[in-house]
Amino acid sequence: MCLGIPARIVKIEGDTATVSYGSLSGRASISLVPDVRVGDYIIIHAGFGIEKLEPADAEETLRVLREIGEVR
C-alpha cells in the first residue's frame, strides 16, 4: 500500500522541494527527509518524500540480480 515514485530533487525552498520525475516535474514536502540536498533522489508518497533512494545500493542490487541470473 504505498505507491511511491522516485524523483530527483531540483530545488529546495524551506521544507518543499521541486522535483523531476524525468519529463514531468512536481513538488513534494521534504519535512520527513530533512537531510536531503539538490541532486538527491527521494521516494515520494502522498505528496511527501519518505526516504532517500541510494544510487549505490540500487547499482548493487542490479549487480546481484545479474549474477543470480547468470549462475543459475
Partner 1 sequence: MHELIEKVFFGAFDNAVLRRAEDSAVVEQGGTRLAFTVDSYVVSPLFFPGGDIGKLAVCGTVNDLCMVGARPQFLGVSFILEEGLSAEVLRTIAQSAGETAREAAVEIVCGDTKVVGKGAVDQAFVTTCGVGTVPSGVDISASNARPGDKIILSGSLGDHEIAILSAREGLPFSGNVASDCAPLSGAVAALLAEGTPVHALRDPTRGGLASALNEIARLSNVAMEIHESAIPVRPEVAEACEILGFDPLYLANEGKFVAFVSAEHADAALGRLRAVGCAAQAAIIGEVAGHGLPHVTLITSVGGRRIVDVAAGTQLPRIC
Partner 2 sequence: MFQFRDKERIGALSKALEGMVTRPMKFMEVCGTHTVSFFRFGLRSLVPDRLSLLSGPGCPVCVTPQREIRKAFHLAQQDGVILATFGDMIRVPVDSSSLEKQRAVGAHVRVVTSALEALDMARGNADKKVVFFAVGFETTAPTVAQAILHAAGERLSNFFILCAHKLIPPAMRALLDGGEVRVDGFMCPGHVSAIIGSAAYEEISARYSVPCVISGFEPLDMLETLVMLVEMAARGEARVRNQYRRVVKPQGNRVALESMGEVFDVKDAEWRGLGMIPASGLGLKDGFAGFDAENEFDLKQVDGGEEENKGCRCGDVLRGALAPEECPLFGVACTPSTPLGPCMVSSEGTCGAHYRYRTARDE
Query: Considering only 23-31, 35-43, 49-57, 61-69, which stretch makes contact with partner 1 by CB under 8 A?
Result: 23-31
> Cell numbers at residue 70, please?
547468470
Residue 54 binds partner 2, judged by CB under 8 A: yes
Residue 60 binds partner 2, judged by CB under 8 A: yes
Nearby residues of 6 by Cβ (< 8 Å), 6 or more positions away:
41, 42, 43, 44, 53
Query: Could you give the angle at the alpha carbon of 18 between the alpha carbons of 55 and 24, nearest 5°?
Result: 80
Residue 67 Cβ vs partner 2, minimum distance, rounded to whole Å: 10
> Cell numbers at residue 37, please?
540536498
Applying CB under 8 A, the residues found at the interface with partner 2 are 1-4, 6, 29, 31-34, 43, 45-48, 50-55, 57-58, 60-62, 64-66, 68-70, 72
